Amino acid sequence: MRAQQPDLPAGCHLIALDSVDSTNKEAKAYAQSGAEAGTVVWARQQEAGRGRHGRSWSSPPGNLYLSVVQRPDCRPADAPQLGFVTGVALADALGKLTDIPVALKWPNDLMINGRKASGILLESAANADGQLAWLVIGIGVNVELSPRDLPDVTSLQEEGVTITVEELLSVFLGRLFWYFERWRQEGFEPIRERWMSFALPAGAEMRVRMPDGDVFGRFSGIDERGSLLLGTDNGSRRIDIGDVFPLPPATTG
């Protein structure tokens, strides 16, 4: 018997695979050979899942791994905004399916009880005229399992939430395509506001690991391009690339 196809939003073309090296790699190959916007590569497991900054992404069966091809009419510098679009779509989807409180951590991590349950990897290419040719948005969600060898990671199941990969796939893609359209029509501001509603509280202390070293400061939001705004003892900074590590609140008295 054929497995039931998940409900999908209009304009979504799903390619469902049992196993692949990386859905991002596969989706990039589709994008390069002209696949239309809305193509989604979904795999039950990945043999060489990739994370940000060249890291690997643990990808056993039981979790969600997918990559979406988009062709937004924008400059490459605007592409990171689609990472925030994806983050709010996932936070909304989990809000619809579960009662679990979720938080978004800059730039693209979804956190549950202070631990990472999902990450997003964006890859893109530009045209000769300098506009974006295609963008691949890859997302991994720890539904059943989280890697045992990493600190501060979790899965929905470990947090007491039981949903299926298919349910999450369907609700998430519905929200993603809806938010993507909203971004196209109204720009980044409504996305930025929604993202901030899931973010750490303003003033939260954090360490940001950047390519040229660590900086400490207080979270003060994201700007109109999605850069992190950090208040430091030497003034306010805008940060484009880095990893955020929230610090425990200082104890006084």
Which residues would be at the binding site for ligand BTN (CB under 6 A)?
22-24, 46, 49-52, 55, 57, 65-67, 119-121, 138-140
The answer to whether the CB of 173 falls within 8 A of the CB of 9 is yes
C-beta of 116: minimal distance to ligand BTN in Å?
7
Q: Which is nearer to ligand BTN, 45 or 190 (CB)?
A: 45
C-beta of 29: minimal distance to ligand BTN in Å?
13
C-beta of 115: minimal distance to ligand BTN in Å?
13
Q: Which is nearer to ligand BTN, 55 or 238 (CB)?
A: 55
C-beta of 224: minimal distance to ligand BTN in Å?
24
Q: Which is nearer to ligand BTN, 72 or 83 (CB)?
A: 83
C-beta of 26: minimal distance to ligand BTN in Å?
8
Q: Which is nearer to ligand BTN, 105 or 175 (CB)?
A: 105
Q: Which is nearer to ligand BTN, 166 or 218 (CB)?
A: 166
CB closest to ligand BTN, residue no: 119
Rounded Cα distance, 209 and 134, in Å: 29
C-beta of 117: minimal distance to ligand BTN in Å?
10
Q: Which is nearer to ligand BTN, 47 or 193 (CB)?
A: 47
C-beta of 43: minimal distance to ligand BTN in Å?
8
Rounded Cα distance, 72 and 61, in Å: 31
Q: Which residues, including other chains, have CB under 8 Å from residue 133's CB and lie 6 or more apart?
A: 31, 71, 124, 125, 126, 127
DSSP letters spanning the chain: -PPPPPP--TT-EEEEEEEES-HHHHHHHHHHTTPPTTEEEEEEEESS-B-GGG-B----TTSEEEEEEE--SS-GGGTTHHHHHHHHHHHHHHHHH-----EEETTTEEEETTEEEEEEEEEEEE-TTSSEEEEEEEEEE-SS---TTSSSB--TGGGT----HHHHHHHHHHHHHHHHHHHHHH-SHHHHHHHHHHBPPTT-EEEEEETTEEEEEEEEEE-TTS-EEEEETTEEEEESS-EEEEPPPPP--
Q: Which is nearer to ligand BTN, 20 or 163 (CB)?
A: 20
